[in-house]
Structure formats: C-alpha cells, structure tokens
C-alpha cells in the first residue's frame, strides 16, 4: 500500500507569530485527520525549530529546499544533514519556483536528491511542465526528461525512498487546477515510466502527489484518482480550515 500524503508548502509566507498561530489552529482539527494519511508542513526553514518543539502538533516537517553540499563555505545555504538534525524528515527538491527563479537545473536537482538520500531525508521531488509545453503536447516528454535527469541514476532501493510531486506550472497559484483526467493520465505516465526503469513493484510503492491550486473544492476528486496519492498544497495550506479539509478528503 502506498502512503497517502498531504504536504503544505508555505513558501515565503508568514511571520513567526503568524506561522505559530496557523500551526496552533491546525492542531484544533488534527483529531479528525485520517489516521493513514501522512501530514507534512514545509514552513520557511527559520521556523522549523519552533514547529518541531510544538508538543501537540502531529505532523512531519519538510524543508522547502536544501544545498547539494553537506557543509562548508556556502553562505546562506542549509544542508540536508542540518535538516535531519532538526528532526526534519522530508525536503522539497526541484520545485518549479526553484527551477524558474533560482536557475536550478536537472543536474543541480539530481545532486540535491542525492544530498537528501545521503542524509536520510526523503526528497519530495517536484516535476511538471509549463503552459507552452502543455499547449505543444510535449508535457509527457518534459516530465520524463525531469525524472530521467534527477532520479534515473538511483538504485531501485534508493528510489523507493523518494516521493514525487507532479505540479504543472500553469496550475500553481493560478486557481486553474489540472482536470482529474489530466492529473490521472500524467500520474499514470510517471508510474509507468518508473515501472519501465525500476520495475513495477518499485513503481507501485512510490507515492505521487498532485500540486497546483489544490483546494477543498477539488481535492476529494483529485485524490480519488488511482495514481494520485495525495497533494502538495500551496495557497490553501496557509488557512488551517482549508488545509484540514483537504487532509480530510484523502
Ligand atoms: P498552489 O496550491 O498555491 O497552487 O501552489 C502549489 C505549489 O506550488 C505547492 O508546492
């Protein structure tokens, strides 16, 4: 059985006070969360320590990014080992905003996947096409290239420790969600590609999350698709009530 996961990516939002308020608010709903769904928060890295210390918050924590390097003179960077030492279990890798605004290439993302695995952090590897690629019907080729670039060098054992998030860039923060058909067909394609490269058993064990304008209005329908194992949620994770409703719809 694949793990169901709902992860909230807070991106660069909220002061520490607002972040703690949001976390407290979330605890008010957590008794109603399905027991077999893993709930993950990816706050700004500055707040990981405070959230980790919050006694009643039953979530796993994720970094939004990490360095390819393990330590050294890399001003401003945070290593996967540092995240691990703060009890962080996951880290987003290759989010489209990192690719788009910070020049992250498939090679850099591959190195970050490796850094996570080296430090026993589960990478949440993000992939997805831009609108022009979708319109040119090259979205499958694009996503396959991203998978090949960052994951294909791994062993079957290693790739089992990766979570994949399909986030079509045109659906991020736009209010335009992929239709259930578009999401399911891409998730099935990702799983088929994983199966061809690593074997069907491995592909069946990997959680593939959907991200891009997930809301309480569309989450149940998206999560009901065969190959959609949960969601990576941006905007709606900044409101406890909405995020809780999304978790409850898994
Ligand atoms: P939105 O849910 O705001 O579209 O963001 C999705 C996302 O980028 C999560 O990583």
Nearest CA to ligand 1 atom 7: 234
**Cβ of 147 below 6 Å from ligand 1:** no
Q: What is the pTM of this model?
A: 0.97
pLDDT at 55: 85
Give the start-end residues of each E strand in 45-93: 60-63, 90-93
Domain 4-248, CATH? 3.20.20.70
Spacing of C-alpha 215 from chain mean position: 16
Continuous H helices in 6-91: 16-27, 48-52, 80-85
pLDDT at 77: 98
Catalytic residue among 38, 97, 129, 167: 167
Classify the C-alpha dihedral 153-45-167-187 as positive or negative.
positive
Q: How far, in Å, is the centroid of ligand 1 from the Cα of 89?
A: 20
pLDDT at 82: 98
95 is catalytic: yes
Which atom of ligand 1 sits closest to the CA of residue 92?
10
Continuous H helices in the chain: 16-27, 48-52, 80-85, 96-101, 106-118, 131-135, 139-151, 156-159, 180-198, 200-205, 219-223, 240-248
**Cβ of 194 below 6 Å from ligand 1:** no
Q: Flag residues of the chain having pLDDT under 70.
A: none
pLDDT at 33: 96
| Ranges of each domain in the chain | 4-248
pLDDT at 117: 98
pLDDT at 40: 98
**Cβ of 213 below 6 Å from ligand 1:** yes
Q: What are the structure tokens assigned to 111, written together? A: 């190195």
pLDDT at 1: 78
């Amino acid at each position: 059985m694949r793990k169901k996961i709902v992860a909230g990516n807070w991106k660069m939002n909220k002061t520490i006070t607002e972040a703690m308020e949001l976390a407290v608010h979330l605890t008010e709903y957590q008794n109603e969360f399905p027991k077999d769904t893993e709930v993950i928060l990816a706050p700004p890295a500055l707040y990981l320590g405070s959230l980790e210390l919050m006694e009643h918050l039953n979530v796993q924590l994720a970094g939004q990014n990490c360095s390819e390097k393990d330590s050294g003179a890399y001003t401003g960077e945070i290593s996967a080992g540092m995240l691990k030492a703060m009890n962080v279990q996951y880290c987003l890798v290759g989010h489209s905003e990192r690719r788009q605004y910070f020049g992250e290439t498939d090679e850099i993302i591959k190195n970050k996947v490796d850094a996570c695995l080296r430090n026993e952090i589960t990478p949440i590897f993000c992939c997805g096409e831009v609108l022009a690629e979708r319109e040119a019907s090259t979205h499958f080729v694009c996503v396959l290239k991203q998978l090949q670039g960052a994951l294909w060098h791994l062993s079957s054992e290693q790739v089992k420790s990766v979570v994949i998030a399909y986030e079509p860039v045109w659906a991020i923060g736009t209010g335009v969600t992929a239709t259930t058909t578009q999401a399911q067909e891409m998730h099935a394609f990702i799983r088929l590609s994983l199966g061809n490269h690593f074997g069907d058993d491995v592909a069946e064990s990997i959680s593939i999350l959907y991200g891009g304008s997930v809301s309480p209005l569309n989450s149940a329908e998206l999560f009901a698709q065969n190959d959609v194992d949960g969601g990576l949620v941006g905007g709606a994770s900044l409101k406890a009530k909405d995020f809780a409703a999304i978790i409850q719809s898994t």
